[in-house]
């Protein structure tokens, strides 16, 4: 199983986020789940990659050429795919993924997560989407998604497109107990 992980590149955040990213990397490596991620060497991306590598896991980075040119890539990740731009990066990552996990992050992570939800709503992606809600980071987004459902911008059934995990262990539990998604997601995509 290939797990696509979206995460922050910031190194200026609470250390509990870094601890959770490292723990997730360790758990994925021990579970023999391959990881594809944004290729960064710092922040939560770097902590995740370090933990996967330290535990002899398999990890692939996908990074746009301008980021590589800036030296933002993880120097120890040997399998690094260089893309022309951010759009190609996401497309490659989604194409490789059996599951998506979003760790806390900035607007880039938010955009990647919401694209994953959109693709699943349209039946273009069918795997699990797991939001790691470390320190209740995603509370406002979860509340906003609930508001979309109560306001009929999403169907109630769409709520099952994602799972909320509070710990890395819960992420692994959701990955191993994935129940799949609707056979014909487009039948309910139109509101």
pLDDT in tens, 110-145: 999 999 999 999 999 999 999 999 999 999 999 999
Please tell me whether residue 6 adopts helix, strand or coil conformation: strand
Please tell me whether residue 128 adopts helix, strand or coil conformation: coil
CATH number given to 2-138+160-183: 3.40.50.450
For 9-41, give one letter per residue: b (16+ CB within 10 A) or e. Answer: bbeebeeebbebbbbbbbbbbeeebbbbbbbbb
Q: Is the pLDDT of residue 34 over 80?
A: yes
Could you state, in order of their start, the residue ranges of all structural domains in the chain?
A: 2-138+160-183
Judging by DSSP bridges, how do beta strands 79-83 and 162-165 pair with one another?
Answer: unpaired
Please report which confidence band the pLDDT of residue 169 belongs to, taking 50, 70 and 90 as the band edges. Answer: very high
pLDDT score recorded for residue 152: 95
Q: What is the pTM of this model?
A: 0.94
Give the H/E segment covering residue 154.
none
Please tell me whether residue 99 adopts helix, strand or coil conformation: strand
Q: Is the pLDDT of residue 181 over 70?
A: no
Q: Average pLDDT for residues 49-60, to the nearest whole number?
A: 98
Q: What is the DSSP string of 28-52?
A: HHHTT-EEEE--BSSHHHHHHHHHH
Helices (H) and strands (E) in the chain, counts: 7, 7
pLDDT score recorded for residue 188: 81
Q: Is the pLDDT of residue 171 over 70?
A: yes
- CA 102, CA 108: separation in Å to the nearest integer? 11
Residue range 35-46, pLDDT digits in tens: 999 999 999 999
Q: Average pLDDT for residues 164-176, to the nearest whole number?
A: 97
């Amino acid at each position: 199983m290939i797990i696509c992980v979206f995460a922050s590149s910031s190194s200026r955040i609470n250390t509990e986020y870094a601890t959770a990213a490292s723990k997730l990397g360790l758990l994925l490596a021990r579970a023999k789940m391959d990881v594809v991620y944004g290729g960064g060497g710092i922040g939560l991306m770097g902590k995740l990659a370090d933990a996967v590598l330290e535990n002899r896991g398999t990890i692939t980075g996908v990074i746009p050429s301008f980021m590589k040119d800036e030296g933002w890539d993880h120097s120890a990740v040997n399998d690094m795919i260089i893309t022309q731009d951010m759009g190609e990066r996401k497309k490659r990552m989604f194409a490789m993924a059996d599951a998506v996990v979003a760790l806390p992050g900035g607007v880039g992570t938010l955009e990647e997560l919401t694209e994953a939800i959109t693709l699943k709503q349209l039946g273009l992606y069918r795997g699990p989407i797991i939001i790691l809600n470390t320190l209740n980071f995603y509370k406002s987004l979860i509340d906003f998604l609930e508001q979309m459902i109560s306001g009929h911008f999403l169907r109630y059934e769409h709520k099952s497109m994602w799972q909320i995990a509070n710990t890395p262990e819960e992420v692994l539990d959701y990955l191993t107990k994935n129940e799949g998604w609707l056979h014909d997601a487009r039948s309910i995509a139109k509101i």
